[in-house]
A and B are shown apart, each in its own frame.
Chain A
Amino acid sequence: MTTGSRGTRILGVATLASLALTAWLALVVSPADVNQKDAVRLLYIHAPTAWLAMYVSFGVTTLASVLYLWPRTRSRLWDLVAGASAEVGVLFIGLTLAVGSIWGRTTWGVWWTWDARLTSTAVLFVLYLGYLAVRRIPADPLVRSRRAAIVAIAAFIDVPIVHLAVDWWRTLHQPATIFDERRLLDPKIEGTMLWTLLLSVVAFTLLYAWLLIHRVRLARLEELVEDRALEDALAERRAEGAAAGAPSVETDEHLATGGVR
């Protein structure tokens, strides 16, 4: 009973191959930047994880949440996809922040700056940590899924507002600094660097897909096992009840099927 399959093995090989190729291009083949020298090689991780986390992962989470809430498309699968995508998204955002911080250390000598993008990313990170917390609340699973779905949508509509507010804040009130932070964050990308960047986006997208599929299947397996454990417990109780001749089955079934609370 594994989450792997022929499909994911092919995907996994493709992911590994493209990641390896990206690493080779990023570290060996592509040139160092004029201004940042070798530090620019971190771009090939930072940019794709940022893009994937913000637009793909959380977009998928939101879309899946909407599909889960919409009566006509409601299905457990969407709830599981929403949760899995958010988990992978939080992983990628954490990486974005970590690699971005390291990159900042090499270019500006500081581990953190309050530039618009990093700041928005940090807020997003905490937003989705909150969503993951809601997925773990001790409550009826259906209640939990519905609340999580609504929180996902509420978080998503906040994202553009956060971006806008932080952007205005950091551009309108930028004190004069020695470093032009924006210039350093956007090195001129052309030629080999551009191809490497595009490849890195493809590679990380494949990685996201591979992680997502495995995570969704894992969640599905866990649900199935839980359901089956419940059925087994019920069956045992019935067997006991039949053996003892005591009619306690109705109460157990009512409790086990979650009742209407």
Chain B
Amino acid sequence: MVPPERATTEGEPALWRDAGLVAGKDLRVEARSRVATNQVVPFALLVLILFAFALDPDRGILGRAAPGLFWVTVLFSAVLAIQRSFAIEADDDARDALRLSGLDGAGIFLGKAAAVALQLLALEAVLAVGVAVLYGVSLRGGGLLILICLLATAGIAASGIVYGVVAAGLRVSDTLLPLLVLPVLAPVLLAATRASEAALATVPGDAWPWVRLLAVFATIYTVFGVVAFGPLLEEA
């Protein structure tokens, strides 16, 4: 079943307009329901606190492990954010409405991914403050850190939305999604952590290979999502 074609004179702009529409919708839903701010952010901060219990702050491990702990927390929070992104369409057959709306599949993908990415970036800002305060880490190499966050988040959002739609609408989606998406994100965790460590140690040279890997990952999965999301959405 193919969504009705838009007037061909519109071409490219339709993609971005659809993406904007969907992103706007998702973000507006979030603004009204405040699930991310009321639940996901506290969850993330809680994880930071739990790490302190687990790793004993007096032994100096927290500071050294901080980049890794930060990114692990981001990953777990991302799973929640992605689940939420698809949960808002679970009611009232909203997913069917989305499919029948005539919006371009690629546009829906980009819109949802952008919405999740923006929420994650906001979360990362909060977590960065959390890590600085709770783990006593001084956030040097700010520009590079921001770049790392942008690229890693893009990759997380892109691959997350792809797997999110695979798991969407199923009774088992809550357990299936982490199983699918976390192994795929393992390289992102690796690269983001190593790059962040280099940035914090103000040795940016070490970070560049990892930053490139993050960029490659984000590109590959964005392209994949643009191509695959439409077909995946069609039959759900």
A contact set with B: CB distance below 8 Å: 69, 123, 126-127, 129-130, 133-134, 137-140, 142-143, 146-147, 150-151, 153-155, 157-158, 161-162, 164-166, 168-169, 172-173, 260-261
Q: Among the listed A129, A143, A155, which residue makes an inter-chain contact with B235, where contact means beta carbons less than 8 Å apart?
A: A143
Distance in angstroms between the alpha carbons of A242 and B1 in the assembled complex? 35
Q: How many A-B residue pairs have CB under 8 A?
A: 82
B228 touches A165 (CB 8 A): no
Question: Are A158 and B187 closer than 8 Å at their CB atoms?
Answer: yes
Residue of A nearest to B191 (CB): A165
Q: Is B87 an interface residue (CB 8 A)?
A: no
A260 to B217, CA, bound (A): 36
B172 close to A (CB within 8 Å): yes
Q: Which residues of A contact B224 (CB under 8 A)?
A: 153-154, 157
The B contact surface, by secondary structure, is helix
Cβ A161 vs Cβ B187 within 8 A: yes
Once the chains bind, are B194 and A138 in contact (CB under 8 Å)? no
Whether A157 lies near B179 (C-beta < 8 A) is: no
Whole-angstrom distance between the Cβ of A96 and the nearest chain B Cβ: 16
Name the distance in Å between B208's Cβ and chain A's nearest Cβ: 12
B interface list, Cβ under 8 A from A: 1, 159, 162-163, 166, 170-172, 176, 179-180, 183-184, 186-187, 190-191, 194, 206, 209-210, 213, 216-217, 220-221, 224, 228, 231-232, 235-236
Given contacts A161-B216, A161-B217, A168-B209, A154 and B162 within 8 Å (CB-CB): yes
A173 CA to B201 CA in the complex, in Å?
Answer: 15
B166 and A134 contacting across the interface, CB-CB below 8 Å:
yes
- Nearest residue (CB) in A for B182 is A126
A130 and B181 alpha carbons, distance in the complex (Å): 9
Docked-complex contact A154 and B190, CB < 8 angstroms: no
Q: List 15 A-B contacts (CB under 8 A).
A: A123-B186, A127-B183, A133-B179, A137-B170, A143-B235, A150-B232, A154-B163, A157-B220, A161-B187, A161-B217, A164-B213, A165-B186, A166-B187, A168-B213, A169-B190
Max chain A C-beta neighbours (<10 A), residue from B162, B166, B170, B221: B166
Enumerate chain B residues within 8 angstroms of A158, measured Cβ to Cβ.
Answer: 183-184, 187
Out of A123, A129, A139, A173, name the residue touching B170 (CB < 8 Å): A139
| Cβ contacts under 8 Å, A143 to chain B | 235-236
Q: Which residues of B contact A157 (CB under 8 A)?
A: 220, 224
Q: In whole angstroms, what is the CA distance A15 to B103 when docked?
A: 53
Q: Determine whether the beta carbon of A126 is less than 8 Å from that of B166.
A: no
Q: Quick check: A137 and B172 within 8 Å, CB to CB?
A: yes
Distance in angstroms from A54 CB to nearest chain B CB is 14
Q: How far is the CA of A140 from the CA of B186 in the complex (A)?
A: 31
Contacts of B220 in A (CB 8 A): 157, 161
With beta carbons under 8 angstroms apart, the residue of B180, B194, B213, B217 that contacts A130 is B180
Closest to A164 in B: B213
Q: Cβ of B190 and Cβ of A127 under 8 Å apart?
A: no
CB distance A166 to B190 under 8 Å? yes
CB of B173 to closest CB in A, whole Å? 9
The minimal Cβ–Cβ distance linking A258 to chain B, given in whole angstroms, is 11
The residue in chain B whose Cβ has the minimal distance to the Cβ of A260 is B1
Partner of B166, one of A151, A165, A261: A151
Please measure, in the bound complex, the distance between the C-alpha atom of A46 and the C-alpha atom of B231, giving whole angstroms: 39
Chain B residues with Cβ below 8 Å from A139 are 170
Q: A138 contacts B159, CB within 8 Å?
A: no
For A69, give the chain B residue with the smallest CB separation: B231
A154 contact set on B, CB distance < 8 A: 159, 162-163, 184, 221, 224, 228
Q: Is the CB of A150 within 8 A of B166?
A: yes
Q: Which of A123, A133, A155, A173 contacts B176 (CB 8 A)?
A: A133
Residues on A with C-beta less than 8 A from B166 are: 134, 147, 150-151
